[in-house]
Amino acid sequence: MYIKDQVKKLSPYKPGKTIEEVKNELGLKEIIKLASNENPFGCSDQVKNHIKDNAMNYAIYPDGGGTILRNALAAFYHLSGNHFILGNGSDEIIQIISRAMLDSSKNTVMAAPTFPQYKHNAVIEGAEVIEVPLVEGHHNLQAMASAVNGQTAVVWVCSPNNPTGVSIAEKDLVQFLDQIPKDVLIVLDEAYYEYVTAEDYYNALELINSYSNLIVTRTFSKAYGLAGFRVGYGIANPALIQSLEPVREPFNTNALAQQAAAAAIGDQTFIESCRQQNREGIQKFEQFCHEHGLTYYPSQGNFILVHFNQDADDLFEALLRKGIIVRSGQALGFPNSLRITIGSSDQVDKTLKAIRETISH
């Protein structure tokens, strides 16, 4: 059978261990999973009630246009429905953009390390990948702009960046956008948008009006706590959205997910509360790092990348034995760092206690 050369060289996504697996393997009662930046507070009660109260006919296809969700997004952002493209997670928006715009005659520019799906999809499409190293956890936007050439189709910008958590300041982003030719697409991945509290953060929706070559991606998987439903979306001017739509599968977001996401937008009190508790958790981590002489990147996401003076896989194993699952930086390009999702207050305390015990011997 013919498999594309570039696909043969890729490995499938390696999911972390499930809570049940770890429980069984280690005989532990309580497991705290802080590896995938999921919301420790779950999702809004409004979502649960809405799903419970709205019986659906599972035999019929979902609304391919996602009208209910599209209208909810349009109302929330004060935009028209045709500013949005819906995806089975924002992962799928990344895939749609790659399928529509990348092939072996094109290249694509991104930071390194950053969210791995940009590169993964570009490789599948056969495009050349140009990676520009981060500087102190920040995108090197100047170098990224310089890397753009006549064959560049897409530039990926992740803010806050996964795995460093660092966000981009408005003046830096605008300066960058001004340098990118109008026929090159800029994807601004804001998966952690709802968690951002930085005062120098830009307003992506205003930028969409000024830059016709900008698409912003956001998701219901992180702050909205709906990762299991798989819903993400892109926001851009209607002409750009229209040019991507043919690549989208007709029924890519499922019926339950559309309902859940639309209900979730209605509860901004929940999002506000998550944002605040997340910020308190980050402050506890920062305090802990100062007390223990550890360095970290200042995070605007719901996770923090903490640097240690030892192998991250060893630390990961030691914490796992205490029932705490974090993400080793080994696979993320930071061999001595851990990426830790900010849990609830109680989970943060238990995690810091476990780290303290682990690094002190």
Q: Are 168 and 202 within 8 A, CB to CB?
A: yes
38 binds ligand PLP, rule: CB under 6 A: no
Stretch binding ligand PLP (CB under 6 A), from 1-9, 86-94, 194-202, 338-346: 86-94
Please report how close the Cβ of residue 110 comes to ligand PLP at its closest, in angstroms: 11
Q: Are strands 107-112 and 152-158 parallel, antiparallel or unpaired?
A: parallel
Stretch binding ligand PLP (CB under 6 A), from 15-23, 132-140, 219-227, 286-294: 219-227
Measure Cα distances from 326 to 35, 97, 216 in Å.
4, 30, 28
Please report how close the Cβ of residue 279 comes to ligand PLP at its closest, in angstroms: 18
Q: Which is nearer to ligand PLP, 84 or 288 (CB)?
A: 84
Pick from 66, 189, 240, 285 the residue near ligand PLP by CB under 6 A: 189
Q: Which is nearer to ligand PLP, 73 or 354 (CB)?
A: 73
Q: Which is nearer to ligand PLP, 218 or 322 (CB)?
A: 218
Pick from 38, 91, 125, 194 the residue near ligand PLP by CB under 6 A: 91
Q: Scan residues 236-265 and list those touching ligand PLP (CB under 6 A).
A: none
Task: Enumerate helices (H) and strands (E) in the chain, giving the number of each.
Answer: 14, 13
C-alpha R_g of the chain: 21
122 binds ligand PLP, rule: CB under 6 A: no
CA–CA dist 245, 177 (Å, integer): 24
Pick from 40, 62, 66, 89 the residue near ligand PLP by CB under 6 A: 89
219 binds ligand PLP, rule: CB under 6 A: yes
157 binds ligand PLP, rule: CB under 6 A: no
CB neighbourhood size of 12 (10 A): 6
Residue 83 identity: H
Pick from 96, 158, 216, 348 the residue near ligand PLP by CB under 6 A: 158
Pick from 39, 90, 213, 347 the residue near ligand PLP by CB under 6 A: 90
Residue number, nearest CB to ligand PLP: 89
Stretch binding ligand PLP (CB under 6 A), from 62-70, 88-96, 319-327, 338-346: 88-96
Please report how close the Cβ of residue 357 comes to ligand PLP at its closest, in angstroms: 29
Q: Which is nearer to ligand PLP, 165 or 281 (CB)?
A: 165
Please report how close the Cβ of residue 16 comes to ligand PLP at its closest, in angstroms: 13
**Residues in contact with ligand PLP by the rule CB under 6 A:** 37, 89-91, 115, 158, 162, 189, 191, 219, 221, 227, 232
